[in-house]
Structure 1
Amino acid sequence: MPTHYSFSLRLLTPKYWPTWFGFLLLAFIVNILPYLLLRQLGYIIGLLTMHILKKRYRVAKCNLKLCFPEYSENKCGRIVKKNFQYTGMALIETGMAWFWPEWRTRRISSVIGKEMLLKQEENNRGVLVICSHHLNFEMTARIFSQFAKGYGVYRPHSNPVYEFIQHRGRTRNGHQMIDRKDIKSMLKVLKKGDRLWYLPDHDYGPHNSIFAPFFAVEQAASTAGSSVLIDATRCAVISGVTVVENNHYTLHVGNDLSNKIERRNPLSAASILNQELENMINRDIPAWMWLHKRFKTRPKGLKDVYS
């Protein structure tokens, strides 16, 4: 079931001091500066990163051209620049989500459409909450914790201090975490009527993948795990994505998609979820994690798009 990481004295050894210092500095900055300055700082960090991670700049531009072939070179360049600004802000938002007091989060956030999600709890029905790798995802999780706590699927960090702080930051408001390899616990959570946060929008490699349409890419590697979870538990399938407008975070909760998904049909599940992910990304295209090699896994015989 959910993982738990406790503090130990070995985390205080000198080799971990830089990690402690980095997070202490982040916690100090996000709690001492006003939000508008934090956003400016995040954007500056992002633009500096853009000049360093030139390979990722090319990856992001390639992804955009594949998904939106109608976009001009200049338009793709503008979106990628904005994407890097959001990437820098993601660092700041992680600090906000993990270290801010509750009143400060509530002051700049709101939720639209939460009724459908809460209705499932009344029926004791589990919910697979479909989220995307929007760069403000940590804030999305924090906003969800205000009214709908649940279990997040994640990858534990190899640095034990990072993992200790990450786990504490994500669980201190009521959420719990499950290792992404622990399928048994995911199924148990959904069967007992709880919520499971799940991000099926990345390329997780050829193992347990199926090729389904994603924007203009007809065969994008998509996880088949979604179908396994849905078929085995008959859970509701509801999306959630946060959009930032006028310095305000609005979480948009979708309708139940489970009745659209054919049982025991991984392609149907992947296709429906990819369509929903497209809708989520279209709310703010530059805010998605375009720097990820989304189309690294290719059908047999097709060349690498990033070479």
Structure 2
Amino acid sequence: MSNPAPTPPALPPRGPRHWPVWLGVGLCVAMARLPWGLQRALGALVGALAFRLARSRREAARTNLALCLPELDADARDALLRGNFRDVGIGLFEFARAWWGDAAPMRANVRIDGLDILRRLQAEGRGVLMVSGHFMTLEMCGRLLCDHVPLAGMYRRHRSPVMEWAVLRGRLRYASAMFANNDTRGALRHLKRGGLLWYAPDQDMRGKDTVFAPFFGIPAATITATHQFARLTGCAVVPFFHRREVDRYVLRIAEPLAPFPTDDAVADSTAVNAAIEAMVREAPTQYLWLHRRFKRQPEGAPSRYSADAS
């Protein structure tokens, strides 16, 4: 499927009340252009500081690890928690570099498995919903995949029009299109036309159509959009694994989930959560454990988080 070049977003307001955000964006762009080795070192430092200062997020991540990985002892979970904060810090620089920097150091050593799966589905004329999770590598690996296929994405709008413009402009350097999370019609049209769309349904999206489906065996409020997209468009739902290793990025496209969709939104949401759980087990320190994934629970169930993690 051929894709026209995406239209750049209109320049946002530049009045005095927006100057602080403009200054922040400028700083982020400058940080995005630092050498990759320096970015990794600074990111590890930022992560170590966040571990000490972001108490509520640290305790939320600690709780998530205890719930999801009870087979690990306390020392192993603590090491994973510290590694997670390190990778969150590095991931902030990866995000900035993906949006506004140079991906050449990453392209120098990247492995991508399963491109033949995407090309086969494209040849069949099917839309493809590429399901992943909120990993710190998601933006950089999305950019690397866009070197090979025309990939669109969905995103949550920013409150600041300046930040909205800056991030959207950065993403449209490599994505074929971007759809806001409230632009369901645009995303559906894209899939019906045989497009590829990246989507992460692994957060508790309040106000959306959700069901409780297990994630690491714990009931998690799960958005049913993956089930609905597949039901309304006939698209294939393809798990997209990605991680950063010591000296390379590894991307893997799996075979489509099957049977999918079924008539049961809970069963389909369970299948999606199981795929994301497998991704997490491959790269546990790179997942966004800071998100309170289990904050909403079935009626009558106890809270999963302490006051420190609220």
> TM class, shorter-chain normalised?
over 0.9
* In structure 1, C-alpha distance between the alignment counterparts of 2:96 and 2:138, rounded to whole Å: 12
Aligned match of 2:31 in 29, 32, 44? 29
Structure 1 residue 241: deviation in Å? 2.5
Query: Aligned with 1:133: secondary structure?
Result: coil
1:61 paired with 2:62, answer: yes
Counterpart-to-counterpart distance in 2, 1:3 and 1:306: 43
Question: What's the offset of the Cα at 1:67?
Answer: 0.9
Q: How far apart are the structure 2 equivalents of 1:135 and 1:3? A: 27
Q: How does 1:3-42 map to 2 (within 5 A)?
A: 5-8=9-12, 10=13, 12-33=14-35, 35-42=36-43
SS of equivalent residue, structure 2 residue 10 = coil
CA distance in 2, matches of 1:95, 1:108: 19
Question: What's the C-alpha RMSD, in Å, of the aligned pairs?
Answer: 1.8
Normalising by structure 1, we get a TM-score of 0.92
Does structure 2 retain, via aligned residues, the 8 Å contact 1:206–1:297? Answer: no
Mapping 1:295-306, distance limit 5 Å: 295-306=294-305
List, as ranges, runs of 4+ consecutive aligned residues in structure 1 with deviation greater than 4 Å: none
CA distance in structure 1 between the aligned counterparts of 2:39 and 2:104, rounded to whole angstroms: 17
CA deviations on 1:73-132 (whole Å, 9 max, x unpaired) are 222211111111111112100121012235344224331211101211111110011011
Between the two proteins, what is the percent identity of the paired residues? 30
> Does residue 270 of the first structure (1) align with residue 272 of the second (2)?
no
Q: What is aligned with 1:238? A: 238
User: 1:162, CA displacement in angstroms?
Assistant: 0.6
1:73 counterpart residue number: 74
Q: Is the 8 A contact 1:206 1:221 kept in 2?
A: no
Equivalent pair of 1:108/1:247 in contact (CA under 8 Å): yes
Select between 65-74 and 78-87 the one with higher mean Cα deviation.
65-74
Deviations 1:123-174 (A, max 9, x none): 1110011011001111121112111122211111011111111000101124
Comparing 154-163 and 176-185, the one that deviates more: 176-185
Show the 5 A alignment for 1:1-307.
Answer: 5-8=9-12, 10=13, 12-33=14-35, 35-205=36-206, 207-217=208-218, 219-257=219-257, 259-307=258-306
Please list the CA deviations of residues 256-282 of structure 1 after superposition, one character each: whole Å capped at 9, or x if unmatched: 11x222422101211111111111111
Q: Distance in 2 between matches of 1:302 and 1:79?
A: 28
**2:143·2:175 contact (CA, 8 Å) conserved in 1?**
no
Return the alpha-carbon distance in structure 2 between the equivalents of residues 155 and 82 of structure 1. Answer: 27
Any idea what SS the aligned residue of 2:33 has?
helix
The one-letter code of the counterpart of 2:17 is K
Contact 2:127 2:236 in 1 (8 A): yes
Change (3 A) 1:305 1:206: farther
Return the alpha-carbon distance in structure 2 between the equivalents of residues 206 and 25 of structure 1: 34
Offset at residue 306 of structure 1 (A): 1.1
Letter in 1 for 2:214: P
Distance in 2 separating the partners of 1:284 and 1:3: 35
Q: Is the 8 A contact 1:130 1:240 kept in 2?
A: yes
What is the distance in 1 between the residues matched to 2:208 and 2:236?
Answer: 25
The code of the aligned residue for 2:222 comes to S
Deviation of the 1:3 alpha carbon: 8.8
1:83 and 1:3 mapped to 2: Cα distance? 36
Q: Measure how far apart 1:175 and its partner are.
A: 2.7
Number of aligned residues: 301
| Superposition TM-score, scaled by structure 2 size | 0.92
Q: Distance in 1 between matches of 2:124 and 2:42?
A: 45
* Unmatched segments (≥5 aa) in structure 1: none
SS in 1 for 2:244: strand
Tell me, yes or no, if the aligned pair for 1:226 and 1:266 is still in contact at 8 Å: no
Deviations 1:41-82 (A, max 9, x none): 111011111111101110001111111222222222111111
Q: Specify the code of the residue in structure 1 equivalent to 2:28.
A: L
